[in-house]
Each structure stands twice: as C-alpha cells, then as structure tokens.
Amino acid sequence: MGENVSNPEGAANLLRRAGAVDASATVIGDGAVAVRAGGSGWELLAWSPSSAPPVQELDGTATELGGGTLTVAKPSRANAARLRELVPWLRPRLVASATSAGTGDRLGVATPGQAAAFRANPGIFPIFAQQSARELMRSGRTFPDVVDAATVGVLASGWRSGYGADADHLKTIADIDAGIAAGCTMFTADPIELVPDLPADAPEASIAAAFGSVPWAALEDDPAAFASRYPKALDLEGGALDLPPAAIRAAAARFGRAVVQVAAMYRHLVGRVGEGSVDFEVAVDEIEYRTTPIDHVYIATELSRLGVRWASLAPRFVGDFEKGIDYLGDRAEFEADVALHAAIASRLGGYRLSVHSGSDKFSIYDAIARATGDRVHLKTSGTSYLVALETVAAAEPELMRRIWGVALEAYTAARASYHVSATVTGAPAPDKASARELIGLLHDPNTREILHVTYGAVLNGSATSGAVSAIAAGLGDEVRSAVWTAREAYWKNLAIHIGRHLQPFAVAAAEQPQEGVIR
C-alpha cells in the first residue's frame, strides 16, 4: 500500500486492500470511501489525495498514505450524515416502484443480509431504515440511530438502487418531528387509539352513541353533508360495492376521530417538508376488529376530502396477523378480502395496500401478490431479530438460554401492546432446555411469538422489573456482540429468510410495467 495513488479507482483499490468490504469501496471525486468490519462493529475508511480533501472531513484518525490521507473513523452520527452528503445513493428517498417492502432492523446490522435478499428478488423497493415509535422506546434507539445504521449498511452492501426510511406507527406530532429530523422519507400515521372498540356490526345503540361523538367541526363537515356525500354503490372492477347508509354511518362512528388525527399529522408533515416530498402511509391494522370494505371507502373518501395524499393504506384484514408467525384464518376468505380492498384502492386513488405484521405469512403471500398485482407494500419488523436469535442459538447456546429466561419473565408485560396469542404455559424451562430445544424455540409458533415481542427486555432491559432486570443487565450488549461475531452466518441466514418473503412479490412485480415515484 506504499505506492502513490493517481486515480479514483486506485483509491478504491487501496481501501479494499486496507480491509474494506469489497462492495463498499465507492469513488468520490479523486478519492474513495468504504466500510470494513472491525472487532466490535463497522469502521469507515476514507482516502483523499492531498489536493482534494472532501472525504477527510470525516471525524477520525488520519494518516498519510499513497500521496494522500487515509482517515479511519467510527460511524458516528456526524460521519453518517457526512456520508449521505458525499454519496447520493446513501440518502433515503421516496419509493421508486409500486412494490416495496420494509424489513426492520432492531440490532442495526441487518442491512447486508437484507440487501442480498432484495438483490436476489429484483423489482421491489426496500425500506431498510424502518422502526416504529414503540420499538424505539423499548429498544432504547432513536430514528437517527436507525437511519445511520442503514446508511452504513447500504454502503457496506454496495446497494446503489435506492432505499427508504420509514418512521413507523407514529401516534403524535412529536413523533412526526422526530422522523423529519432523522431524514425519514416515509411516515406511517397510526391513529388506532382513537378508534372505539366496536365492530362494524355492533348493536345500533352502540353505533349511535359513537356516532354522537363524531367531531364534525374538526372534520370540517356536518351530518347533513355527510349523509348526502356517498352514493348507493361504488363501481369497482368486478362489480359494484353496495354502500348502505347504516354501514357508512357505522364507519364514521368508528373512524371519524381517527381521520381527524391523520389529517392533522399529514398537514403538519407537509407544512414542514412540502407536499410530495414524502411517502405517507395510513395504518389502522392494529384495531381489534377488521376494517370492512365500507370502512375503507369511508377512510379514503374523508381523507381525500380533507386534502390528505397518501401512498399506502394498511387495513386490518380478515383473520389474524400475529407477530412472527404464519397467517391464522381462512385463506380463501382472506384472498377475497384483500382482493376487495385492492379494488377499492385502485378505484379511489391507485395507492398501495400495505400489509402490516407481514413477517412469516408465507401461506398468503401468493394471494396478496395475485390480488394487488404490483401495488403493495409488505411490512416486516421483528423477523430479522428472530433470525439473529436463531444465529445466536446455534453459535452460543448458553447465551440463548439467558435470552429465553428473560423473554419468559418479560412476556406478560411485553405482550400488552401486541396482537399475539402465545402462552408461557408448557414452554420449556430455560435451565432444562437442551441446545437443540433452544434452537427449536425459533421454530415453534408459540415460543417464537414470545421471543418476537420481548426484544425490549432482551436488548434494553425495558418492560422488566426486579429479578428480570438483574438477569437482563448487560444482555443486550452480549447479544449484539454475538451477532456481530457471527455476522456472516447471520447475513446468509437473513438473505434466505427475507428472500422467502420477497420472492412471490418479485414474481408479481416482474409481470407489471415499472412506474415512477408514487405520490
């Protein structure tokens, strides 16, 4: 490495020989930047000739090398931001195709494996930086942490086809502002706390009481105008959808206040960043009862009337979408339901349907792809964390034993805000489970769910108390260290697992013409 470097490609080769991940060496002007794997995490490498110093602005340790300066730096917040300034394809951007998928990364090191899955299944736009406000609170991370980790992971992966950053399941204006500050390009509004615990076919007295509290002034509406707004039926491809006045009234009773909240969040967002500069998603998937087709019509009609422009909408489909396991319900009924919602989305704006809690729903991906064509967003989150635990279980069974002990103790508290049905009854005791049984925890739906929702206790000691806190102390650092040590196995496992999620949608996307950015 002692020769003078006289061209940018020579700079890239120099960084590769300095131990950079081969795919990550990226030419910038007359210099180059790259990533290499250090003992405890990523390290940034930057080389500039003495006459052209831009990449020297990374904050790190500089040495003279090859007629220029080599800087070795940590992937700090400032350095990640500087990388995004220097390298256009490291900046999160809007969804660039009609099929997209969010993959989530609770540990901050999953992007190389996820990128490999997207590379093997082309035509799907990745949202590598995705985390919900709830996940951030439990894991002790922030939106900037998530975006920065994706930035470095994308550089390490050599992924140059663009990616998005989703501030997911936002409840408040403050959540919106946090996502803006981090540079997120997708914002998912989740107003479900404002949806009363009523099914669409609740007794008339219950619907009437809820309808009586519809905030007409905030909706910029009145009951008479509302009653005259809806036709008797909505023409859809494949037939008309009847819109009985009583059903529309029930939809308003259930979702009126939620519409107000979503509109307020959207107006604040576009007031800050400008209309058309973000992908806005509306999520009502975590309500107790299904979102009926007429509910969908009401939500879309009222949001559109209030000037909201959204890229995707996540209904609560028929059946059960529990965390980290396959679909529970009648698959034929589900396919009919998703097809009807897709027809409504096509008729009322051409936005994508978003499928939340989409991890490991292998039995229905083909049905979703058939129903939506290429206008779909699949959202996964904790499944990459579960692959990490499976990797840990194979490499360090005693560490997995401790993880399982914390998960069992924390499950009752952790499950409160998740749609899961797992029970600790009959689950194997941590001190008696064999190494094989510890690996098997990730393959049994019951124990897999327990591990899925207790990540906060494992990674951050959250949702724990007393003896659990003592058991969990320092566990998160040990898990992150173990995953990093076994990172090549983790990325290989992840590429296969995420690839199983993407493959049906890649096939559907390949059959459709690609379009421009969704607005």
Mean pLDDT value across the chain = 93
Helices then strands, counting H and E runs in the chain, come out as 20, 16
Give the alpha-carbon dihedral of 396, 399, 405, 410, to 10 degrees. Answer: -110
Active site residue 193: no
Active site residue 281: yes
State how far the Cα of 282 lies from the Cα of 94, in Å rounded to an integer. Answer: 16
Residue written as tokens 């002990």?
405
Q: Which of 30, 105, 221, 281 is an active site residue?
A: 281
**Bridge partners for 339 per DSSP:** none
C-alpha to C-alpha distances, 401 to 394, 438, 453, nearest whole angstrom:
11, 7, 17
Tens digit of each residue's pLDDT (9 = 90 or more) over 254-300? 999 999 999 999 999 999 999 999 999 999 999 999 999 999 999 99
Q: For 69, how many CA atoms within 13 A lie in the half-sphere containing its CB?
A: 16
Q: Which residue, among 355, 356, 393, 357, has the nearest Cα to 375 in the 3D structure?
A: 355
* Averaged pLDDT for residues 136-164: 97
Cβ atoms 313, 348 nearer than 8 A = no
Confidence grade of residue 3 (pLDDT, cut at 50, 70, 90): low
* Averaged pLDDT for residues 458-469: 68
Cβ atoms 47, 57 nearer than 8 A = no
Q: Which of 30, 168, 286, 374 is an active site residue?
A: 168
Give the alpha-carbon dihedral of 132, 133, 135, 137, to 10 degrees. Answer: 170
Radius of gyration of the chain (CA): 24
**pTM, full prediction:** 0.94
Confidence grade of residue 68 (pLDDT, cut at 50, 70, 90): confident
**Residues 6 or more apart in contact with residue 49 via CB below 8 angstroms:** 5, 11, 30, 31, 67, 68
Tens digit of each residue's pLDDT (9 = 90 or more) over 78-91? 999 999 999 999 99
